[in-house]
Each structure stands twice: as C-alpha cells, then as structure tokens.
Amino acid sequence: MSAITALASTLSSSINDVQSKIADVQNQLATGKKNLNSAESGQVTRLTTQVTGYTQAGQNIGQASNTLDVANTALNSMANLLQQMSQIATQASNAGLQASDKTALQATFSSLASQVNAISINTMLNNIDVFAAMTVQTGPVSSNTTTIAATVVTALDVTGEDVSTGATAAIAAVKLALDAISTGQSGVNASLATLNAQGTNAAALGTNLQNTIDSIQNVDQTAMQAELQQLNNQQSIDYYLVSQMNTAAAAVQTIFR
C-alpha cells in the first residue's frame, strides 16, 4: 500500500468517525438528552417512578385539603346559624313575652335548625361527605398515608327543640352544638396544617429527585456546542487534507504519464 493510499484510508476513516460524532452531538442537542448507559437508564427510571409518586401524593393532598376547606366553610356557616339560634332561644326565655311572640321565635328557630341540619347532612364535594373520615396517600410508598378523623356532626341536630315551651333546654342544646362545631373546626384546621406540611414536603422531595434526574440525563448545552464546534473544525481539517492529498495524487499521475 502506497503512502498516499494509506493516508486516504486513514482520512476516510477519520471523516466517517467525525461525521458520526457530529450527528450524535446534534441529536443530543436537539433532544436535550444525553446518551445513557444501562445503569444510568435504570436509575432514571427508578427516580422517575418516585417523582410520579410524589406528584400523585401532592394531588391527593390537594384534593383532601379542598375537602377539608369545604368542611370548614360548612362548619363556619353552621356556627353562624347556631349563634343566631342561641340569641333566639335566650330571647324566648324572657317570661314577659306573649305566646304569639314565642311562636314567631320558634318558627325562626326551627327554620335555622333545619338549615343547620341540611348543611350537616348534605355538604358534599365530588359526591364525598366532607365530614367523613378519609385516608390520604401522602407519598410514593404504600405506608405513606395519613388518616383524617371524621368530623362529628350528630350533635348539631337541634330540630326537635322548641323555644316556645323549652327555651332553657334549647339554649343548652345549642351550646352543645356550638361546642361540637368548635371541636370540629379545631380538628379540621389541625388536619389542614398536617396536610399542608406534607404537601410542601412531597413537592420538595419531588423537585429534588427531578433535579437529580435532570443532572443525569440532560445535556450541558454549552459543553455540547463547544464539542460540536471542535468536531466541525476537525471535519474541516480532514476535508482540507483530502483535498491536498487529491492534489498530490494528481501531480504524481502527471509525472508518470
């Protein structure tokens, strides 16, 4: 093999290699992803599964928090109604009231009691009783759960009280109902605080895992652009050498004609 033939073979191999590398770098730049080995791919898959779990946990927590927010709103509404009922019952206990006045107060009291009862029974979110107990998946592992206790609203039914004939008993019943509301509000707010903390934690863990995934699979655009420039420069050099080799070969052929 002549020196020119050997050089031609070397240059041809170099050009093919550089072109392959250029195509590979351009593809990585286009996708933004590195070429991963099997170990890296396995790690990305495992971490992605965890990120998906934390994302779902965040959604679960958000849905549960929405349910508790509705429960809180309902409890506040019932508390306002019960406070009005307490005032009415206290007013009805006045011995100087006429029977007709007490009858009118009872009508208002009964109407408010019916509203309280309706709220306690019918408050739903997506067909879910907002006062019922629930278990929330708060992480990617099956054991990552939080149980929210039911909000007891059975004591809120005061529809059987009659302020026209038993104002004192009605006052006591309304007080018990207000105490139950207060207990329920405390429980709901405590559960919301717990869920909010867990939601923040799940979001932070998911973000950290995603950052790890990105560090494994995302290309360094600046470094890749620099590598592409080097490969393009090498390709230009190879093409120049091929051109020079062709010129030299032509000169040799001229000599031996």
* Residue-wise pLDDT tens digits, 103-132: 999 999 999 999 999 999 999 999 999 999
Rounded to an integer, the average pLDDT of 242-257 is 61
Query: What DSSP state is assigned to residue 163?
Result: T
What is the structure's pLDDT at 158?
Answer: 85
Residues 151 and 131: their CA atoms lie apart, in Å, by 5
Beta strands in the chain (DSSP E): 124-125, 128-129, 134-137, 145-148
Which DSSP category does 126 fall into?
T
Query: Do residues 121 and 195 share a domain?
Result: yes
The parent domain of residue 229 ranges over 1-32+219-257
Question: Do both 138 and 225 map to the same domain?
Answer: no
Task: Record the pTM.
Answer: 0.75
Are residues 107 and 11 part of one domain?
no
What CATH code is carried by the domain that includes residue 132? 1.20.1330.10
Higher pLDDT: 244 or 186? It is 186
| Count of domains for the chain | 2
Return the higher-pLDDT residue of 229 and 54.
54
101 and 139 in a common domain: yes
* pLDDT averaged over every residue in the chain: 87
More reliable by pLDDT, 87 or 21: 87
CA distance 43 to 217: 10
User: Is 39 contained in some domain?
Assistant: no
% of the chain residues with pLDDT over 70: 90
Indicate whether 118 and 92 sit together in one domain: yes
In this predicted structure, the answer to whether residue 2 has a pLDDT above a threshold of 60 is no
Higher pLDDT, 229 or 206: 206
Looking at residue 123, its pLDDT comes to 93
